[in-house]
């Protein structure tokens, strides 16, 4: 055998695993050994899939819906989603532009694959969802990570685009609300970024997967401002369907045919039982359950946010959505990884160090997720106080 | 807006849709207008998901298994698959090397992404499953399509590898049984190809998704010959779970960690209800159902194959597995696309023209799928005789 025996693509050197997994594994070992662990690291709602969706899932199995659907999804589901944009957002979106995907992950994969030639750049905020830059790298594009801080609510602005857009830039990507910061892009900033990218012949990709989980106002979809934006959404977070693996793209009309043929080749289709189950996601009965859950998340945030500030974490921008709080932890340790390890070992509290979210001051930050009940959050805060107070 | 307004990645010019979709759409329109259509074009078993798997799926929902699993899949499912290799094939495969994926599609995607740098070549047979070359193109690799014919049972051989392997070649890919030809790679040829690729520091990727559907002998997994092969398999075809979207990779040990971090980033995980349902796929009760279905497929082949030969289709190699017959149709028309359109319009028989399977004499071939009951196959043959006899 020659040296190529373990030939691994160069991209793999740039693609990082979720670093928190090691911490999670350690937490599980401690739990197995009898320790009580408070989980503030988990990016998945604790709520089960709402009963009307479960019921539709059971019915799908009873009706034998286990064969392939069209690559772009069940026509009825695409129409239902179009109806949701019309009813909830007052926006007219043709079902033809809605492509059902295996999770928002599948949506990001298709959008990057259809947009990026080798060397093409995508601008994105750092800190941000780590997979975004890895999707870009996977298709030989270049993620341009723009350091952002509290002065822009940890979001890209039109000014960032102006100063970082280059010859090879083809798109910018924002998430509203964002992971790990929970912050929103304002309507004004969104409009200005859309105008900027359109002016450069580029595209804006807007991740709205936490869109249903906004607490202080009604979230406005980027589709309200332009039909030429890529919007990515998901049934995972707001609709409580993480493990079903179902998301969607709303694509500009010019891209629909390309995305269709790519989905045929790369996925064949999204899971069929999940698509049938999701038909119940927009029923009034389901939306009522989801709104009650949004209230529960809001209460959790309204408990955890002041408690963390009171402990001495720096949270200069109030997170308005998702279920995350991104906090400056330098009052306690200059190394957030070390802090997270210490908190796990000392008081059994699991949090996510900044390392997973990019390269801009990760060691100064940690992420708290409020995906557990208030009682557990209270216990977590009490333990943090014991260690840090 | 400048010219980049509709910027679409160059790869999209090389990625083709499934051409048969147009024919299928026409067939559906004819059916909607009251015409009876015999479907010999569909690459999906007509059988429903076996009842024990459905029961496990229902139980998964009842037990609330709707959250994420680990990126590489449920530990219990990976162990169950390892047990299947041990019990059915007498091959020892560590569960650590088994990665659960969203369909064999997800498996192909991960393997190509982890192996291919831009310009790297993968050798494959033409005709073949069209997505294979598109996966390679998606990651900026180059598919080297090797024209194959009846003299090698439409399969690659070690001699093909020798004559086509170049400086940039990193892998060769075979499917056994293959789509569209239903032919196998012999154990001897497999061993010689494994020795050849190992000698060049390359890898062999073996698609075994039709492995359970072999009619004249017991199929031997490539894992019986080497632990350094990538084997791709699926719950879709043999296990009757197409719409659930579940497959797996058996990877050489050196690649497991890379595939894990790539799966974390690109997919998060495969669908959870499907993974729980698939735990029942290897129970004796299920395997008994599947073996009866294999018998039914064998009977269909044993009816359709001589009937097509009798009509004048050229089928020089007996298809030994899957549910396809790849036939030379030049006795009827030099253009298989035109022939397929004529048969659909004249006698309501839908078949797949060669165009979908590559560039080596596609116009001289059509593919028949025996995914329908004998009675429908009989009706199809009677209609073909009316038009061609």
For B45, nearest residue in chain A (alpha carbons): A67
Residues contacting B159, CB < 8 A, separation 6+: none
Q: What are phi and psi of A353, to 5 degrees?
A: -70, 160
Q: Mind telling me how many Å the CA of A308 is from chain B's nearest CA?
A: 28
Produce one character per residue of A6-22: b if its CB has 16 or more CB atoms within 10 Å, e if not.
ebbbebbeebbbbbbee
Flag if A61 and B66 touch (Cβ within 8 Å): no
Choose among B116, B120, B134: nearest Cβ to A265. Answer: B134
| Interface-testing mutation among B67, B109, B241, with chain A (most A C-beta atoms within 10 A) | B67
Q: In what order do the strands lie in the sheet with B352-353?
A: B324-328, B365-369, B352-353
pLDDT tens-digit map of A273-326: 999 999 999 999 999 999 999 999 999 999 999 999 999 999 999 999 999 999
- CB distance A148 to A29 below 8 Å: no
Domains present along chain B, CATH in parentheses: 10-48+286-388 (3.90.1150.10), 66-283 (3.40.640.10)
The residue among A44, A53, A66 with the most chain B CBs within 10 A of its CB, best to mutate, is A66
- For B230, phi then psi, to 5°, come to -90, 115
Q: Tokens 């830059």 sit at which residue? A: A133
Contacts of A244 in chain B (CB under 8 A): 66, 271-273
Which residues 57-76 of B are in CB contact (within 8 Å) with A? 57-58, 61, 64-69
A316-344 pLDDT tens trace: 999 999 999 999 999 999 999 999 999 99
d(CA B193, CA B157): 7
Residues within 8 A of A (CB atoms), B 240-259 only: 240-245, 254-255, 258
Over its C-alpha atoms, chain A yields an Rg (Å, rounded) of: 21
Q: How far is B387 from chain A (nearest CA, A)?
A: 31
Round to whole Å and give the CA distance between A310 and A18: 29
Judged by CB atoms closer than 8 Å, whether chains meet at B138 and A260 is answered as no
Rounded to whole angstroms, the Cα distance separating A247 from A240 reads 12
Say what the pLDDT of residue B389 is.
84
Kindly determine whether residue B170 and residue A260, on different chains, have CB atoms separated by under 8 Å.
no
Return the SS3 of A205: strand
Task: Write out residues 5-34 of A within 8 Å (CB-CB) of B.
Answer: 5-12, 15-18, 21
| CA gap B388, B16 in Å, rounded | 30
Query: Is B243 in Cβ contact with A271 (below 8 Å)?
Result: yes
Q: CA of B309, closest CA in chain A: separation in Å? A: 31
Q: CB neighbours (10 Å) of residue B160? A: 23
Task: Please tell me which of the candidates A1, A140, A274 has its beta carbon nearest to residue B271.
Answer: A274
- Tell me the nearest-neighbour CA distance from A386 into chain B, angstroms: 32
Question: How far A187 CA sits from the closest chain B CA (Å)?
Answer: 22
Distance of CA A160 to the CA centre of its chain: 21
Q: Does residue A153 carry a pLDDT above 50?
A: yes
Asked whether the beta carbons of residue A8 and residue B114 sit closer than 8 angstroms, the reply is yes
Q: What is the pLDDT of residue A87?
A: 94
CA distance A367 to B176: 48
**A67 interaction partners in chain B (CB closer than 8 Å):** 44, 242-243
Query: Is B301:B323 a contact under the CB 8 Å cutoff?
Result: yes
Contact A261 B15 (CB under 8 A): yes
For residue range A11-28, list pLDDT tens digits in order: 999 999 998 888 988 999
Query: What does the radius of gyration of chain B's CA atoms come to, in whole angstroms?
Result: 21
CA distance B386 to chain A (A): 32
Instruction: Calculate the dihedral angle through the C-alpha atoms of A68, A270, A171, B141, rounding to the nearest 10 degrees.
Output: -60
Whether residue A326 contacts residue A40, with contact meaning beta carbons closer than 8 Å, is answered with: no
Asked if the Cβ–Cβ distance from A170 to B2 is below 8 Å, we say no
Q: Measured between CA atoms, how close is B47 to chain A, in angstroms?
A: 9
What CA–CA distance (Å, rounded) separates A136 from A118?
A: 10
pLDDT of res. A7? 87
Counted residue by residue, chain B has a size of 389
**Length reported for chain A:** 389
| 8 Å CB contact of A243 and B272 | yes
Residue among A5, A18, A61 whose CB faces B264 most closely? A18
Q: Looking at the predicted structure, is the pLDDT value of residue A94 above 70?
A: yes
What the block records as the tokens of B188 is 């001897």
**Minimum distance, in Å, between the CA of residue A44 and any CA atom of chain B:** 8
Dig out the tokens for B105 from the structure: 């599609």
Secondary structure (DSSP) of A94-156: -GGGEEEESHHHHHHHHHHHHHPPTT-EEEEEES--HHHHHHHHHTT-EEEEEE--GGGTTS-
Helices of type H across chain A: 20-32, 51-62, 75-89, 103-115, 130-138, 158-164, 187-199, 256-266, 272-278, 284-311, 336-347, 374-388
3-state SS, residue A216: coil
CA distances in angstroms from A138 to A83, B70, B342, listed in the order given = 34, 21, 43
- The three-class DSSP label of residue A182 is coil
Provide the chain A residues 139-178 that lie in CB contact (below 8 A) with chain B. 139-140, 170
Specify the pLDDT at position A389: 84
Determine, for residues A203 and B264 on separate chains, whether the beta-carbon distance falls below 8 Å.
Answer: no
State yes or no: pLDDT of A1 exceeds 90: no
**pLDDT per position in chain B (389 positions), as tens?**
344 457 899 999 999 998 888 888 899 999 999 999 999 998 899 999 999 999 999 999 999 999 999 999 999 999 999 999 999 999 999 999 999 999 999 999 999 999 999 999 999 999 999 999 999 999 999 999 999 999 999 999 999 999 999 999 999 999 999 999 999 999 999 999 999 999 999 999 999 999 999 999 889 999 999 999 999 999 999 999 999 999 999 999 999 999 999 999 999 999 999 999 999 999 999 999 999 999 999 999 999 999 999 999 999 999 999 999 999 999 999 999 999 999 999 999 999 999 999 999 999 999 999 999 999 999 999 999 999 98
Contacts of A109 in chain B (CB under 8 A): 266
**Which pLDDT does position B1 carry in this prediction?**
38
Fill in the DSSP letter of residue B357: G
Facing residue for A9 by CB, picked from B12, B117, B245: B117
Measured N-to-C along each axis, helices B336-347 and B374-388 cross at an angle, to the nearest 10 degrees, of: 110
Phi, psi of A387 (to 5 degrees): -85, -35
Which H or E run includes A324? strand A324-328
Q: Report yes or no: A252 and A203 within 8 Å, Cβ to Cβ.
A: yes
CB contact residues (below 8 A), chain A span 104-123, against chain B: 105-106, 109, 113-118, 120
Q: Which of A143, A139, A144, A168 is nearest to A9 (CA)?
A: A139
Distance of alpha carbon A27 from alpha carbon A341, whole angstroms: 10
Helix, strand, coil fractions of chain B, as percent rounded to 5: 50, 15, 40
- Partners of B16 on chain A (C-beta within 8 Å) are 261
Per-window interface: A 281-310 vs B, CB < 8 A: none
Enumerate residues 6+ apart whose C-beta is below 8 A from B204: B171, B172, B173, B174, B193, B194, B197, B222, B226, B229, B230
Closest residue of B to A277, CA-based? B61
Residue B183 and residue B175: Cα distance in Å, rounded? Answer: 9
Residues in chain A within 8 Å Cβ distance of B131: 264-266
Look at B255 and A113 and tell me if their CB atoms are within 8 Å. Answer: no
Searching chain B, which residue's CA lies closest to the CA of residue A196?
Answer: B1
Averaged pLDDT, A357-385: 97
Q: What is the pLDDT of residue A11?
A: 97
Residues of A within 8 A of B6 (CB-CB) are 254-255
List the single residue in B with minimal CA-CA distance to A49. B66
CB neighbourhood size of A118 (10 A): 14
Portion 79-98 of B in contact with A at CB < 8 A = none
Q: Does the distance separating the beta carbons of A106 and B4 come in below 8 Å?
A: no
The partner residue sitting opposite B261, judged by closest CB among A7, A17, A265, is A17
Q: Which of A10, A65, A114 comes nearest B243 by C-beta?
A: A65
Cα distances from B183 to residues B127, B164, B198, B218, B302, in angstroms, run: 12, 21, 24, 13, 15
DSSP state of A186: -
pLDDT at A3 over 60: no
């Amino acid at each position: 055998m020659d040296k190529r025996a373990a030939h691994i693509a160069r991209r793999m050197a740039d693609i990082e695993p979720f670093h928190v997994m090691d911490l999670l594994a350690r937490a599980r070992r401690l739990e197995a050994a009898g320790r009580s662990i408070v989980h503030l690291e988990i990016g998945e709602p604790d709520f089960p899939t709402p009963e009307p969706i479960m019921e539709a899932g059971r019915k799908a199995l009873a009706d034998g819906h286990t064969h392939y659907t069209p690559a772009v999804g069940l026509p009825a589901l695409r129409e239902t989603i179009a109806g949701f944009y019309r009813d909830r957002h007052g926006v007219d979106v043709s079902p033809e532009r809605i492509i059902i995907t295996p999770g928002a992950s599948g949506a990001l994969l298709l959008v990057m694959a259809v947009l990026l030639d080798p060397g093409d750049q995508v601008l994105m905020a750092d800190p941000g969802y780590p997979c975004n830059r890895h999707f870009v790298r996977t298709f030989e594009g270049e993620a341009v990570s723009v350091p952002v801080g509290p002065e822009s609510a940890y979001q890209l602005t039109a000014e960032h685009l102006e100063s970082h857009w280059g010859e090879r830039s083809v798109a910018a990507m924002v998430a509203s609300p964002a992971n790990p910061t929970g912050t929103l892009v304002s309507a004004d900033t969104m409009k200005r970024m859309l105008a900027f990218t359109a002016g450069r012949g580029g595209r804006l990709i807007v991740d709205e997967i936490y869109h249903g989980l906004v607490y202080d106002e009604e979230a406005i979809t980027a589709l309200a401002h332009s039909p030429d934006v890529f919007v990515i959404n998901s049934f995972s977070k707001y609709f409580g369907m993480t493990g079903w693996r179902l998301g969607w793209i709303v694509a500009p009309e010019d891209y629909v045919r390309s995305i269709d043929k790519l989905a045929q080749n790369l996925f064949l289709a999204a899971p069929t039982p999940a698509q049938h189950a999701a038909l119940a996601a927009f029923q009034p009965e389901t939306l009522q359950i989801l709104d009650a859950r949004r209230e529960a998340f809001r209460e959790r945030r309204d408990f955890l946010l002041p408690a963390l500030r009171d402990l001495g974490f720096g949270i200069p921008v109030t997170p308005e959505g998702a279920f995350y709080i991104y906090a400056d932890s330098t009052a306690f340790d200059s190394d957030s990884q070390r802090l997270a390890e210490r908190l796990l070992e000392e008081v059994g509290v699991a949090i996510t160090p900044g390392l997973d979210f990019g390269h801009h001051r990760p060691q100064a930050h940690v992420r708290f997720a409020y995906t557990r009940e208030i009682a557990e959050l209270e216990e977590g805060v009490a333990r943090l106080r014991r260690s840090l107070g």
